[in-house]
Amino acid sequence: MSPLRMIFLALSIWGAVHPMMHIGTWIAANGPNPLGLIAEWFSTPASAAVTWDLVISAIALIVFILAEVAVRRNWIALVAIPATLLIGVSCGLPLYLFLRSRPVV
């Protein structure tokens, strides 16, 4: 595996684990309350700005993944879409780059 692919994989793992640690802390304090979590995302103008930034980035990434998969037929790269939706762009983008950068055979 190339050094670049290892970096993408490490970033994807970090992008999954680090945000989930914070979500886990929030769930431990507030219980499994998705509506409460979403309310927190929009509780201040600064957090709302970051939330919208990530939502727009996630939509752009998903559109890009779908367009690329349609051309390249790299079907395994579609797993980056649920990673983006369920975890976030911090996991989905480096995961997609990891899957996209594999050697073509």
Ordered by start, the domain boundaries in the chain are 3-100
Average pLDDT value for residue range 62-91: 96
Report CA 33 to chain centroid distance, whole Å. 21
Angle of helix 45-72 versus helix 34-41 axis, rounded to 10: 110
pLDDT of residue 43: 95
- DSSP of 5-18: HHHHHHHHHHHHHH
Q: Could you tell me the pLDDT band of residue 63, with boundaries at 50, 70 and 90? A: very high
The answer to whether 80 touches 97, Cβ cutoff 8 Å, is no
Q: Could you tell me the pLDDT band of residue 103, with boundaries at 50, 70 and 90? A: confident
What are 4-28's pLDDT values in tens digits?
999 999 999 999 999 999 999 999 9
d(CA 100, CA 12): 13
Residue 105 clears pLDDT 80, i.e. is over it: no
pTM: 0.90
Residue 64 clears pLDDT 90, i.e. is over it: yes
Q: What is the CA radius of gyration of the chain?
A: 16
The answer to whether 90 touches 58, Cβ cutoff 8 Å, is no
pLDDT of residue 34: 93
